[in-house]
């Protein structure tokens, strides 16, 4: 069997891991299909990459921001031209269906054009000085070398959310792609290189979280870390970074609720719930994993939802008729199966799925049947813990206030959705739902790149991607220019 061998990107050179070891990237739809071989790197590879990024920073930070932005703009055009190929590569390594991987590439294209515009903004603030003949302003400065650690579920979009703002601001980057889906991240960086990105400005070190992520977070020359992944790993990243007072942006789990009121357009709410729960095989931080149903519509909604979940076509995402692809790897299947056990033990009622699919065309992949639990109460673990798979819980409620309470009664706070025709309730929900994102009459998934993306509570640590990313990837410099030609003392030389 032949497959391509990829290497680390360090200072513009493709280099194998110092250890010489590699990791195979397998197609989750059929593990006999090897997408490629990628380096299994360690701290010594991280050291080389950080040194290259540090060297490149000396010149990249001085490139005018509009020029840096032009490279992003050209990369966006190249991604448009390569969209179909990159989408196919992504389905092969990640599993989600082609319509969705096209969306993932599109999200990177959107991000490129959005952030390219920032090259001619990067606004600071000018403000009057309290002293005469003195000028005051503030500038956005790059942070330096930044470390980016990205997940497998959006293997091009999420790296683009981090790379593009970091680059336009003048930082240089060391990127650790997800172990399961490095190819899409390589494709993204290839587009940047073909667009004219100088060597060393972006470096890729492939490998596992413990072997590459940890030394990257701990490296003294890395000034900031942007991480997307689980809350458990995020806590470790934050702890490691705290010791060196590094800035850390953490984007982590969700347990997102869609609330359906009795007055909702029921077929719209059903469409949204199916897409939110089973799109990307439930493997989005924004996935709908709780559906809160008001008593009046609960029985009908449940019946129709279960019927439609059972009819979803599951299979290889490269097949245009397939609606739900495999889960990314066997460990994710185990997690889904584990939560089915937990839910059953807690007394939830299994209405659909609940098992891996292993027969016939599913035999060589990691497939899990779309799974629906009813009779779930807010206290159950299945109602509170993230599964990150095609497993959804139906929870019934009586009043709007109760729905808001249940929606908020979790440790996470990423995305929420309310289906209603009552504008007063819609605005009350916008105010009261504890989440970084609230949709009205739309599913919990589908954020656009130019709005703030992120969550509250255990979902994040206060930073935002999209609108807000520049806050993380720049540092403020306050500048005072005194043109009075004499010593003026702030706070002391007052006029009184």
Q: Which residues bind ligand UN1 (CB under 6 A)?
A: 107, 153-154, 284-286, 445-447
In angstroms, what is the minimal distance from the CB of 10 to ligand UN1? 27
Residue 109 vs residues 79, 318, 473: alpha-carbon distances, Å: 6, 21, 20
In angstroms, what is the minimal distance from the CB of 415 to ligand UN1? 7
Of the two residues 189 and 447, which places its CB atom closer to ligand UN1 in the complex?
447
Of the two residues 111 and 396, which places its CB atom closer to ligand UN1 in the complex?
111
Residues tagged active-site:
251, 285
d(CA 180, CA 182): 6
In angstroms, what is the minimal distance from the CB of 81 to ligand UN1? 22
In angstroms, what is the minimal distance from the CB of 154 to ligand UN1? 5
In angstroms, what is the minimal distance from the CB of 254 to ligand UN1? 8
Of the two residues 273 and 447, which places its CB atom closer to ligand UN1 in the complex?
447
> Measured between alpha carbons, how far apart are the two ends of the chain, in Å?
84
In angstroms, what is the minimal distance from the CB of 282 to ligand UN1? 10
Q: Which residue has the tokens 């673990």?
A: 381
| Residue 3: both structure tokens together | 């497959």
In angstroms, what is the minimal distance from the CB of 439 to ligand UN1? 10
| CB 89 within 8 Å of CB 184 | yes
Of the two residues 107 and 386, which places its CB atom closer to ligand UN1 in the complex?
107
| CB 263 within 8 Å of CB 472 | no
In angstroms, what is the minimal distance from the CB of 255 to ligand UN1? 13
Tell me, letter by letter, the H, E, C secondary structure of the chain.
CCCCECCEEECCEEECCCCCCEEEEEECCEEEEEEEEEECCCHHHHHHHHHHHHHHHHHHCCCCHHHHHHHHHHHHHHHHHCHHHHHHHHHHHHCCCHHHHHHHHHHHHHHHHHHHHHCCCCCCEEEECCCCCEEEEEEEEECCEEEEECCCCCCCHHHHHHHHHHHHCCCEEEEECCCCCHHHHHHHHHHHHHCCCCCCCEEECCCCHHHHHHHHHHCCCCCEEEEECCHHHHHHHHHHHHCCCCEEEEECCCCEEEEECCCCCHHHHHHHHHHHHHHHHHCCCCCEEEEEEEHHHHHHHHHHHHHHHHHCCECCCCCCCCCECCCCCHHHHHHHHHHHHHHHHHCCEEEECCCEECCHHHCCCCEECCEEEECCCCCCHHHCCCCCCCEEEEEEECCHHHHHHHHHCCCCCCEEEEECCCHHHHHHHHHHCCCCEEEECCCCCCCCCCCEECCCHHHECCCCEECCHHHHHEEEEEEEEECCCCCCCCCCCCCC
Where does residue 442 fall: left (phi above 0), alpha (psi -120 to 50 degrees), or beta otherwise? beta
d(CA 296, CA 281): 29
In angstroms, what is the minimal distance from the CB of 377 to ligand UN1? 26
| CB 113 within 8 Å of CB 107 | no
Nearby residues of 215 by Cβ (< 8 Å), 6 or more positions away? 42, 43, 46, 47
Of the two residues 19 and 99, which places its CB atom closer to ligand UN1 in the complex?
99
Of the two residues 39 and 155, which places its CB atom closer to ligand UN1 in the complex?
155
């Amino acid at each position: 069997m032949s497959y391509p061998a990829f290497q680390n990107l360090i200072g513009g050179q493709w280099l194998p891991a110092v250890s010489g070891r590699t990791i195979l990237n397998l197609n989750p739809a059929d593990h006999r299909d090897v997408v490629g071989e990628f380096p299994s790197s360690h701290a010594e590879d991280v050291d080389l990459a950080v040194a290259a990024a540090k060297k490149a920073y000396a010149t990249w930070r001085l490139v005018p921001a509009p020029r840096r932005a032009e490279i992003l703009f050209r990369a966006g055009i190249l991604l448009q031209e390569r969209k179909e190929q990159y989408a196919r590569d992504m389905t092969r390594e990640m599993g989600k269906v082609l319509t969705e991987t096209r969306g993932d590439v599109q999200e990177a294209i959107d991000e490129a054009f959005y952030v390219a515009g920032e090259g001619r903004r990067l606004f600071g603030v000018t403000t009057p000085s309290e002293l005469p003949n003195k000028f005051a302003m503030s500038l956005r400065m790059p942070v330096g070398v930044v470390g980016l650690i990205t997940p497998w579920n959006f293997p091009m979009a999420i790296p683009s959310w981090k790379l593009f703002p970091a680059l336009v601001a003048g930082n240089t980057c060391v990127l650790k792609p997800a172990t399961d889906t490095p190819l899409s991240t390589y494709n993204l960086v290839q587009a940047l290189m073909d667009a004219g990105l100088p060597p060393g400005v972006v470096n890729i070190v492939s490998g596992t979280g413990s072997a590459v992520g940890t030394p990257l977070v701990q490296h003294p020359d890395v000034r900031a870390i942007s991480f997307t992944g689980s809350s458990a790993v995020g806590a470790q990243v934050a702890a490691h970074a705290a010791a060196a007072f590094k800035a850390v942006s953490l984007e982590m789990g969700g347990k997102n609720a869609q609330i359906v009121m009795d007055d909702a357009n029921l077929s719209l709410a059903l469409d949204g719930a199916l897409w939110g729960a089973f799109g990307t095989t439930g493997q989005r931080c924004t996935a709908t994993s709780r559906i809160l149903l008001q008593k009046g519509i609960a029985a009908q909604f449940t019946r129709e939802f279960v019927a439609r979940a059972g009819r979803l076509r599951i299979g290889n995402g490269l097949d245009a008729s397939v609606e739900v692809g495999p889960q990314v790897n066997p460990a994710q299947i185990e997690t889904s199966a584990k939560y089915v056990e937990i839910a059953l033990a807690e007394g939830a009622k299994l209405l659909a799925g609940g098992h891996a699919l292993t027969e016939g065309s599913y035999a060589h992949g990691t497939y899990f049947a779309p799974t629906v639990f009813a009779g779930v109460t807010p206290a159950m673990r299945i109602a509170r813990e993230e599964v990150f798979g095609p497993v959804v819980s139906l929870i019934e409620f009586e009043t709007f206030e109760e729905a808001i309470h249940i929606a908020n009664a979790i440790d996470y706070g990423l995305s929420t959705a309310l289906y209603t025709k009552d504008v007063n309730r819609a605005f009350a929900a916008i105010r009261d739902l504890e989440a970084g994102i609230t949709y009205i009459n739309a599913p919990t998934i589908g954020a656009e790149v130019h709005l703030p993306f992120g969550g509250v509570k255990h979902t994040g640590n206060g930073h935002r991607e999209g609108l807000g990313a520049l806050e993380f990837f720049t540092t403020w410099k306050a500048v005072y220019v005194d043109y009075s030609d004499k010593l003026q003392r702030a706070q002391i030389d007052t006029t009184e």
